[in-house]
Structure 1
């Protein structure tokens, strides 16, 4: 199985009227419940609207994003499914619930970390 990041940009939901937010919340939580029940949900959430902090490889901390940054992530879901087509189906459900376009990207596998997690969690 492959993990996919499904995300939307900050501000993508700004068009939703205040009175519709309870329905959007319920619809999006329903998709999460469906994904959990289907065994494909890994993790997800919305990001607070705020300026990010950037940490360089040398440890230097600066405010960001930089002014030339046009888009930042507003929310995301990570799912684990067998095919890209399956990921696109889940993205369509999320897009309908959140009333905004979703971006779908495949996460790079990291077998070393996955093996470490399996071994560590099996010991406890």
Structure 2
């Protein structure tokens, strides 16, 4: 199953001088996830680029849905056998990023 592991950027409250150590720790967890073959995708939202909505006719409108106005921070998608394994990886990411991680399961797609 695929799991989304994420955190809002506001959750990272460590002092700015610790950013290089946090970055190194986070990159080490990503390298381990890649080596383990569970890494699907990950990255941080570029908060300097405003979100847009794209309609079915291609119309682009600045802004977003009210419910998702606060989407920012870091995200990782891992493919692991079960929730317990997703939780283990989330704990490693939490330790590296120094903040709790939210874990959500993607619905199973029988076509993939």
Pairing partner for 2:34 from 19, 33, 36: 36
TM-score (norm 1): 0.78
How far has the Cα of 1:74 moved from its partner? 1.4
For residues 56 and 41 of structure 1, do their structure 2 counterparts lie closer, same or farther at Cα, with a shift above 3 Å needed?
same
Task: Measure, in 2, the Cα distance between the counterparts of 1:106 and 1:69.
Answer: 18
Whole-Å separation in 1 of the counterparts to 2:67 and 2:110: 35
TM-score (norm 2): 0.86
Partner of 1:12: 11
Q: Closer, same or farther in 2 for the Cα pair 1:101/1:71, shift >3 Å?
A: farther
Aligned-partner Cα distance in 2 for 1:64–1:104: 26
CA distance in structure 2 between the aligned counterparts of 1:66 and 1:39, rounded to whole angstroms: 34
> Partner residue of 1:80?
79
Do residues 102 (structure 1) and 110 (structure 2) align? Answer: no
What per-residue deviation string (whole Å, max 9, x for no partner) do you get for residues 22-76 of structure 1?
A: 0000000111111112221111111111321111234321111356755213111
